[in-house]
Chain A
């Protein structure tokens, strides 16, 4: 073997795990799901090829309502996550001392050490009618009868924000950490007040981190399953649940596959729109072109 072919082989060997991962775990399953989604179930054991499963989605208001509901709640959760996460990230990156920073970061990580399910049950123990919060409120005399804090949309939103906030904090801390403090001081020195500095300097600077965090949070939220189901109760309609129902309860894999593809397309579209509106590109959220 000559030098060149060895180099090529090395490159191939280095890339192989990545290519295998992409091909086996991403491309192949999606291709399979897509093929499945084009199969129409006419009767038991009788199938034809066609877009029927997709048409069903648009014909049945329950489906697209659920998708729109999921998307709008995901956007809301993303916005709230930003509002909650930004001050925390700013505090960690710009205000806290070296020591406190590590502790705070760890504190944000701790919820991730338990599974989604355990976290959801934790919320249920806290918020159910006979739960900790309700009992506490009665004890303090703020309310006289038990209050049910579970099984509504607000609880789902709170639970989701709690679950995903770390994924907003991490990219924000890393962009804010890279921001020279003198930019903030210059903002004040040139006459800006706290709000102006935040709005015109800190936030524009942190935009790549904000967008990166938002994409991750939005995707995680739109694709979450346990939290909306367990905390949402009787009215919780989340699109992932719809997909689960198609696959499991109705044995309708074909339409479940179509829904999966639709969720993928819809979330990608939302992310694309978000990037356009914020004037960012996917590349700039990954790496900043510094002056």
Chain B
């Protein structure tokens, strides 16, 4: 008797090929998704550069994000805040003209939120700034970015919160209901 398993397996070759292609597709797709994940660095309505403002001109973060030390949310500056300087500064550049359009039409600029926390997370800027946490701890080196993006160093994930709370021995900092709601 000469029984072999090979003929039985041969029938499965097309299926195996399909599986291999699917797996390869998954891996490549996952990589592509991670590389071009929408939301990590979206195209903003005005190409605002934090590098020019916070980096080269050394404007403090809280000159524009005035609510950060006073409330839960840091707040995006109003158009009038921008126009406070750009009435005089660099008025002829194309991006500033865009800004001026919004100003003259009395419309808010539809910025796209990059550092966005899920709905079930409670985070208050006020408490963290009062505790002396640098903005860059969570937001990354914003002053070097032309286009705002999430960085690997500060991925805005739960581990970042927990590590810091553990390190600084925050009172009840590891309780779920400190941050989750």
A pairs with B: no
B positions within 8 Å CB-CB of A = none
